[in-house]
Structure 1
Amino acid sequence: MADFKNLLLQAHEKRSPLFDVTDAYRVVNGAADGFPGLTLDKFGDRFQIQFFGPELLSQKKAVATAIADIFNPVCLVVKERLSRAGKSLENAPMEVLVGSPADSVGIVHEGPAQFNIDLLDTVNPGLFLDMRSVRLEIGKRCAGRRFLNLFSYTCSFSVHARLGGAEIATNADISGKILDKGRENFKLNGLDLRPGEFFRGNAIEYVHWAQKKGLKFDGIVLDPPSFARFKGANFNVREHLMPLVADCATILNKGGFFMVSSNYSEFNLNAFARDVRDAVASVHGNAQTAWKRSQDIDFNGSGNTKDSCLVATLVEV
């Protein structure tokens, strides 16, 4: 028990630069923080443990007790992403170890923004922690600009864009339920819902529709899942991402920016950034890479395991 407590305290201290920025961050990122096969995410005073490997599964209660003793959470949820046979689970079972299921819902802060979260959501609590620094930058780039958020999920990029003064922040996602959560995030931040800001449908469909309508944007974020299905059609990030990047570039205004990212573990950051720039340059010959990066400091050891990897790059035209 003492070892778990000390490891937690050491891991938490490493995240101290984030304390004034947000109350939502990863406290433990697997073996790099002394907890192989386990992650611990903090969402305000709510915490979620995820098991990606068997190493500490038999000590689940001891780990949970250490977390409860140090952080005194309102709610602690554990998510087992590995079956007893050692196979990855798409629909991982969840268990509330501290608090009740009703306590899983809350609000977190990130820079000037607030977001609704639910630790018992089957996909994600509502905010992907590894894109924090990008969201904060998007907010600073969007004053007076038209912004497009593809595969928008709960519209967190767009909340930052609108808080940063965007003229419009359009969200495209295949899930109406998810877009409703995006609308709730807008309302939580005191943002009015403007015409054309929520589009239910395939991101590719939206881009083609925008091309036909002559719509243009000053900033675009493209953060797709590795795989997706919509109306019988499959999206495979390895096969379809770069053609979609080139398509998106046709609706990007000169002087604009384009951020593309992926959690697909087979991508190499340098090659990914080069390929994105080249795809944008097929439309905008002056395209230049502004930056390329991986996960934030709370994702200690990022890139060493398939469950903790990110490639992201921003291109300016």
Structure 2
Amino acid sequence: MLDGVILKGIGGFYYIDTVQGVYECRARGIFRKEGIRPTVGDSVQISVLDEANKKGSLDVILPRRNELIRPRVSNIDQAVIVFAAKSPNMNLDLLDRFLLLAEEQELDIVIVINKIDRDKQNKYEDAAALYRAAGYPVICTSAEKGIGIEELRKALENKISVFAGPSGVGKSSLINAAFPGLELNTGEISEKIQRGRHTTRHAELIRITEQSYIVDSPGFTSLFLNHIPSDKLQYYFREFQPFLHKCYYNGCVHINEPDCAIKEQIGEAIDSRRYERYKMLYEELENERRN
């Protein structure tokens, strides 16, 4: 059998990258019976059925290091979370949801703020400072003007990176700017509804250098976190980490309890805007649990 990695899956066919090239494979029926769904990024083993036409059978899915839900990809090293400074405007609530999902999977994270050339008042700088203070690397870019592209390219070296973020923020344009030979599909923002057309129809693993892959994936306008227990949420806010377990009460969730080390840091090490979104998300998860 040949070792490989799933680059994409379309209509029941899986395209597997191996040392002998890319094979088009059908998955064995046993996966369906066992409720296992092959996923982009899976390390797999295949049997070659037709070498001339590069056809094969997907026989084995090796254990996954991690698995994202939306976009559904596995074995990722790094999440590159892309938002636009303008067109569409930044939605920090949505950005925090992407961050939480990436933190839960213990991924390295890079935040990219694209289209900075369209923000004539440079309001994006406040968002960049907010997330840098929280402990995240932030790259400010313009795919159109070529700003920040070299920094982004270096951040992708020797990683399997998933690009995620809402539609219309320029994920495909950024990838094309960093790696011009890829020529991914791009689309214009809809001025009427301020949403991008979903130019990427499926998650796909793309080799960009010998040791580097990226996942270009469909954009999303909402993310649900109801699989995360409410009492675990605090561990996924990076700036909370130095102060956890320093509260007076064991089991403190940093909402109504007195002598809370987290609340004492609001306005200091913890930005009040991030804390307010923590409270909102905590209540959302608690309501899900109760229901």
Q: Same fold (TM over 0.5)?
A: no
Q: TM-score, normalised by structure 1?
A: 0.27
TM-score by length of 2: 0.29
Structure of higher CA gyration radius: 2
More helix as a share of residues: 1
